[in-house]
Amino acid sequence: MNIKILRIFEYEKYFLALVIVALMFFIAKITGHREIVFPEILSIVVFCLITKRQILLTNKRKMVFLTVLASLIGVGIAKYLQIPLYFKILLGFLLPQVVLIVAKSNFLPIIAASLFPIYMKVTSFIYPFAAFILVSLIALVQYYLIKQYRLKPLNFRVNKSFNSKAKLKHLIKLFFVFSIILIAPVYFEQIFIFPPPFVVALAVLSNPMSSFRKYPKKVFGAMVAITIIGILCRLIFNIYLGFPLVLSAIIAAIAMFMLIEKGKIFFPPIGGALLMPMILKKSMLLMYFPEALGGLVVIFVVALKLFKRG
């Protein structure tokens, strides 16, 4: 691929990523269904369209199937289980990861797909339907870019080295640790200390083999910066200037893409972290950053200190 075509590809992939984000917010606005706005969609966009290399074991069909299944799990827990919120969140955290072990995949963004309905009290099955449409659209855009620019296909078959027993052992430890650090946020009714994208970050960083553990300060800084960008874009453009939420989201996404390119940080959870402030209540925004910062510190310390290569 020559330099000119490479530049066209870079511009086009970012443009198409913005179109997907804008479409999600626009459809949510005209239909009145806020559950269509699923922040982790931008994380999947980062993974499928923006990142320089494939870091997750999945293919397009499996990606769509796993995301929809996880979203159904989340809605089912939120809608049908009459149990304390603490146990709902733990189930929403555990079940999609069991699914991943069975599917021999590490497509961790589906954790957020499961947790989002529980956090936001979404009980409509419009949510998994919207997830299906949006993730299918991402898969189609990825297919188009691969064919258009003759890129190497980004489909993975089942990894023969996938160790299900080791993954299950790791999950048991991770579940136990998460169940401990979740107690205080639920007790004090501050669950957005650990919003769904941050929980995904915990799952990613707790893997001792994760390449992102090699530069934790850079990843942490990116997560903090992206969270600030999301909050400021919501406060300035949507709340104070009265611009449509979709415009605030687009401006925030452009800023994130610029940060990604400049810092060479392709950490998928930053996409979800960017859009979380876009769906929170106005009254929650001012306190969201100190809460989120505290949550990020806990997540990084726990992931890096308690999950070392043994």
Residue 161: predicted pLDDT: 66
Chain segment 216-246, per-residue pLDDT in tens = 999 999 999 999 999 999 999 999 999 999 9
Kindly write down the DSSP assignment for every residue of 250-299, as one continuous string.
HHHHHHHHHHHHHHT---THHHHHHHHHHHS-HHHHHHHHHHHHHHHHHH
Residue 155: predicted pLDDT: 47
Q: Residue 215: what are its φ and ψ, rounded to 5°? A: -135, 65
If pLDDT is split at 50, 70 and 90, which confidence band does 31 have?
A: confident
Give the mean model confidence (pLDDT) for residues 151-175: 75
- Asked whether the beta carbons of 187 and 84 are under 8 A apart, the reply is no
> Is a pLDDT exceeding 70 seen at residue 263?
yes
Residue 158: predicted pLDDT: 45
Q: CA 83, 86, 89, 91: dihedral to nearest 10 degrees? A: -60
- Asked whether the beta carbons of 243 and 237 are under 8 A apart, the reply is yes
